Chain A
Amino acid sequence: MSETNVVKTVCGYCGTGCGLILEVENNRIMKIRGDKDAPVNKGQTCVKGAFAYEYVHAKNRLTAPLIRKAGELVETTWEEAYQFIVEKLTSIKTNFGAKSISLFACARSTNESNYVTQKFMRTAIGSNNIDGCNRT
């Protein structure tokens, strides 16, 4: 029997920000309960927060970059994916300007990833065409 790790975190669904306690065994989330110490939810959870976590372990998670070849998306390496992206983005930027590149950021991702996302757009790309799913 492997021991159960307990991890305190915050729910990733809606904007309420409920504190959760995850019970983890063999690198799998086994159970989620509300954190009684959490200022927002004081131990409560809704059905999504407590039970809708299996997606993390889902078999159909993406585990390799995909690239379109002859019309089909096929698995590739990170290096080939990066090379393709950098070449395409550079050529589009050179031919049509940075304005012709847009990015939709992720309101589910962390503050840290979002900070880097906008920094990437405003520096490496040089475009302010960045928005999120804030409006849906």
Chain B
Amino acid sequence: MGSNTTEAHPIIANRMKKAAKAGLKIIVIDPRKIEMTKVAHRHLQINVGTDIALINAMIRIILKEGLFNEEFIRQFTSELEALKKLVEPYTPEFAATITGLTPEEIDLTAREYASAGKAMIAYTLGITEHHCGVNNVFDIANLALLTGHIGREGTGIMPLRGQNNVQGAGDMGCLPNQLAGAISLSNDEYRKRYEEEWQIVLNPQAGDTQTRTFDKIESGEVKALYVIGENPLMADVHMNHTKKLLENLDLLIVQDIFLTETAKMADVVLPARSWGEVDGTYTNTDRRIQRVRKAIEPHPNTKEDWEILCEISTRMNYPMNYNSSEDIWNEVRKLAWEMYGGISYRRLDQEYSIHYPCPDENHPGTFIMHERFHQSENEIQTKSTFVPVEYTPPLEMPDEEYPFMLTTGRRYESYNTHTQTRHYAAGVKIKQTEETVDIHPDDAALLGILDGEVVKVQSRRGELQVKTKVTEQVVPGLVFMSFHWSEVPTNILTLNEFDPISGTAEFKACAVKISKISA
């Protein structure tokens, strides 16, 4: 669901395609006719942002037809009645009017998912980059709990991670609400463990997410921002607004390997080291810890991220000193031992990768999470609650003035704001060398636009010029762009709205108009 796996996670897609050849049924749920649909058993070409209408209808069918896992629900879940009540209005016919699918497609999909021996849901930002991103995830979890498709090999919910160490950065505590080991700051016992090791009293109140930080820069409450290896000016929604906010700051520190668009606005820029120049570990999308190793000697006037932070910290009267990344990792292993205690560099060198949790050196690591769902009933401490959620449409729907829905995403050869993938090895043929707005042939014909023609794309927030790519990958009324090229800053168009719980912005839906550029 909402994952263009072939382009964003090509190697995972290869494994999916191989499995499809061996008989795995893949159902693609995506507004675009992405490449994965070629090997799919079915493609539900859903309207942008209507996932909950689809899932609620599927839940309703599974309940009505008795396809749920009764024993699993009794033992491990609660609040089924609330879920039943909420999904009642979501008949396949009603969901069809919202999603643009047929009632039959919805019915078949529900039956197949529920009655499969093993079924897994993999999703990416097509699920989370909505104002209702958290609700989308809740509803996926409802579906998995209803059918018991969780906690066994070949089942479960698999969010595919976009960055090499998104999982690890969060797990290490680079989130406003949790410490390393992914435990809440409000957990007194756990916080105390850190307070003792760090010799400091910690604030138990969660801090601000990125989107809330932007709000607080606007209100003047946040004065200083330190940005490490990230290009928020290009990557975040509503670029003109982001730019104003960054200008508002008393202090902007950027630590990066390139003078990015964000770095150009900074008061001070610190030259960091890149992949290939550092030692350490990454945590991949399925909780594997793996070693990243230094391959070349970096420029002597650059420093590693942790080295810079230690030096600033020490100058701010909180001395931090480490000899190596292994030294740091061993502190993590000591403090968050339930997760990483057994994952030493020595073992990683021998075993290649270990899945956390791995509490001690003799523990093999945890290949499958949530196995507790298949243990005996009396071992279960807490039940998992169904969280019923209502469908809410995208916050800016196309209208007469802005008749197209713009959805954004990634392309195969480029990576995020493209500061790195601009530098391909010599001789590599790149297919997409500049941004395009991908538009359906019918819409292009109506507007009198030819493939490759430069057009103007406008939203209520900004406008830009971009080449068109006429393609049946999108449906009429829908256009697609990526945010890889600073020459065509797509996020000038996107909407400054975000999920109230996660703070993730609605990158996937906003209204635009497209017009010819008069000669």
Q: A56-B275, A85-B312, A115-B173 are in contact. Are A129 and B284 (CB under 8 A)?
A: no
Q: Which A residues are CB-close (under 8 A) to B160?
A: 15-16
Please state if A110 and B209 are interface contacts (CB–CB under 8 Å): no
Q: Which B residues are CB-close (under 8 A) to A9?
A: 276, 291-293, 295
Please state if B267 and A103 are interface contacts (CB–CB under 8 Å): no
Closest residue of chain B to A77, judged by CB?
A: B301
Please state if A111 and B222 are interface contacts (CB–CB under 8 Å): no
Please state if A100 and B228 are interface contacts (CB–CB under 8 Å): no
Contact with A along B292-332 (1 / 0, CB 8 A): 11111101011111100111110111101010010011011
Question: Would you give the shortest CB distance from B285 to chain A, in whole angstroms?
Answer: 4
Contact with B along A105-136 (1 / 0, CB 8 A): 11111111111111110111111111111111
Asked if B240 is at the interface (CB within 8 A of a chain A CB), the reply is no
B473-519 residues with Cβ-Cβ distance < 8 A to A are 502-505, 507
Asked if A60 is at the interface (CB within 8 A of a chain B CB), the reply is yes
Question: Would you give the shortest CB distance from B231 to chain A, in whole angstroms?
Answer: 9
Q: A10-B282, A115-B328 are in contact. Are A104 and B209 (CB under 8 A)?
A: no
Q: A45-B11, A47-B412 are in contact. Are A66 and B180 (CB under 8 A)?
A: no
Q: Which A residues are CB-close (under 8 A) to B174?
A: 105, 107, 114, 117-118, 130-132
Please state if A115 and B332 are interface contacts (CB–CB under 8 Å): yes
- B296's partner among A29, A60, A107 (CB-CB below 8 A) is A29
Q: Within the assembled complex, what's the spacing in Å between the Cα atoms of A56 and B297?
A: 11
Q: Within the assembled complex, what's the spacing in Å between the Cα atoms of A119 and B228?
A: 14
A23-73 residues with Cβ-Cβ distance < 8 A to B are 24, 27-29, 37-41, 44-49, 51-58, 60-68, 73
- B168's partner among A60, A111, A123 (CB-CB below 8 A) is A111
Please state if B320 and A10 are interface contacts (CB–CB under 8 Å): no
Q: A110-B292, A124-B313 are in contact. Are A16 and B284 (CB under 8 A)?
A: yes
- For B171, B198, B270, B279, the residue with the greatest tally of chain A CB atoms inside 10 Å of its CB is B270
Q: Within the assembled complex, what's the spacing in Å between the Cα atoms of A90 and B315?
A: 10
Q: Within the assembled complex, what's the spacing in Å between the Cα atoms of A11 and B185?
A: 31
Please state if B224 and A102 are interface contacts (CB–CB under 8 Å): yes
Which candidate, B37-45, B250-258, B461-469, is the interface stretch facing chain A? Answer: B250-258
- A116's partner among B128, B185, B297, B320 (CB-CB below 8 A) is B320
Q: Which B residues are CB-close (under 8 A) to A65?
A: 268-271
Q: Within the assembled complex, what's the spacing in Å between the Cα atoms of A65 and B216?
A: 28
Q: Which B residues are CB-close (under 8 A) to A47?
A: 10, 412-413, 428
Please state if B423 and A88 are interface contacts (CB–CB under 8 Å): no
Question: Would you give the shortest CB distance from B266 to chain A, in whole angstroms?
Answer: 7
Q: A19-B352, A101-B224 are in contact. Are A107 and B163 (CB under 8 A)?
A: yes
Q: Which A residues are CB-close (under 8 A) to B284?
A: 10, 15-17, 40
Chain B contact surface mostly: loop
Q: A15-B167, A46-B11, A112-B329 are in contact. Are A101 and B202 (CB under 8 A)?
A: no
- A110's partner among B206, B297, B320, B325 (CB-CB below 8 A) is B325
Q: Which A residues are CB-close (under 8 A) to B177?
A: 128
Closest residue of chain B to A27, judged by CB?
A: B296
Q: A104-B226, A104-B228 are in contact. Are A126 and B276 (CB under 8 A)?
A: no
Question: Would you give the shortest CB distance from B351 to chain A, in whole angstroms?
Answer: 9
Q: A53-B425, A92-B250, A117-B305 are in contact. Are A112 and B281 (CB under 8 A)?
A: yes
Is the interface on chain B under 10, 10 to 19, 20 to 34, or 35 or more residues? 35 or more
B346-382 residues with Cβ-Cβ distance < 8 A to A are 352-353
Q: Which B residues are CB-close (under 8 A) to A132?
A: 166, 169-170, 174-175, 210, 230
Asked if A14 is at the interface (CB within 8 A of a chain B CB), the reply is yes
Q: Within the assembled complex, what's the spacing in Å between the Cα atoms of A108 and B235?
A: 14
Q: A62-B258, A66-B269, A85-B253 are in contact. Are A14 and B162 (CB under 8 A)?
A: yes
Please state if B164 and A12 are interface contacts (CB–CB under 8 Å): yes
Chain A contact surface mostly: mixed
Which candidate, B63-71, B414-422, B438-446, is the interface stretch facing chain A? Answer: B414-422
Please state if B176 and A131 are interface contacts (CB–CB under 8 Å): yes
Question: Would you give the shortest CB distance from A95 to chain B, in whole angstroms?
Answer: 8
Q: Which B residues are CB-close (under 8 A) to A67?
A: 267-269
Q: Within the assembled complex, what's the spacing in Å between the Cα atoms of A136 and B112?
A: 32
- B282's partner among A17, A98, A126, A135 (CB-CB below 8 A) is A17
Q: A112-B281, A131-B174, A136-B236 are in contact. Are A7 and B222 (CB under 8 A)?
A: no
Asked if B274 is at the interface (CB within 8 A of a chain A CB), the reply is yes
Please state if A128 and B165 are interface contacts (CB–CB under 8 Å): no
List B residues at the A interface (Cβ < 8 Å): 8-12, 14, 128-129, 160-177, 179-180, 185, 198, 200, 202-203, 205-211, 213, 216-217, 221-230, 232, 235-236, 250-251, 253, 256-259, 263-264, 266-272, 274-286, 288-297, 299, 301-306, 309-313, 315-318, 320, 322, 325, 328-329, 331-332, 352-353, 412-413, 415-416, 419-426, 428, 502-505, 507
30 contacts between A and B (CB under 8 A): A15-B161, A48-B415, A51-B424, A52-B424, A53-B423, A57-B423, A58-B258, A62-B270, A65-B268, A78-B303, A82-B312, A88-B250, A89-B316, A92-B251, A96-B223, A101-B226, A104-B228, A105-B230, A106-B230, A107-B169, A110-B280, A111-B282, A114-B168, A114-B174, A115-B329, A117-B228, A118-B174, A122-B200, A129-B207, A135-B210
Shortest beta-carbon contacts, A-B, top 8: A15-B161, A17-B284, A110-B280, A128-B207, A106-B229, A12-B275, A46-B10, A62-B271
Q: Given contact pairs A54-B426, A111-B283, A116-B309, enumerate 16 new A-B contacts (beta carbons under 8 Å).
A: A15-B9, A15-B165, A17-B164, A55-B421, A56-B296, A62-B271, A63-B271, A82-B315, A84-B267, A85-B312, A101-B224, A110-B280, A111-B165, A123-B320, A128-B206, A129-B208
List A residues at the B interface (Cβ < 8 Å): 5, 7-19, 22, 24, 27-29, 37-41, 44-49, 51-58, 60-68, 73, 78, 81-86, 88-90, 92, 96, 98-120, 122-136
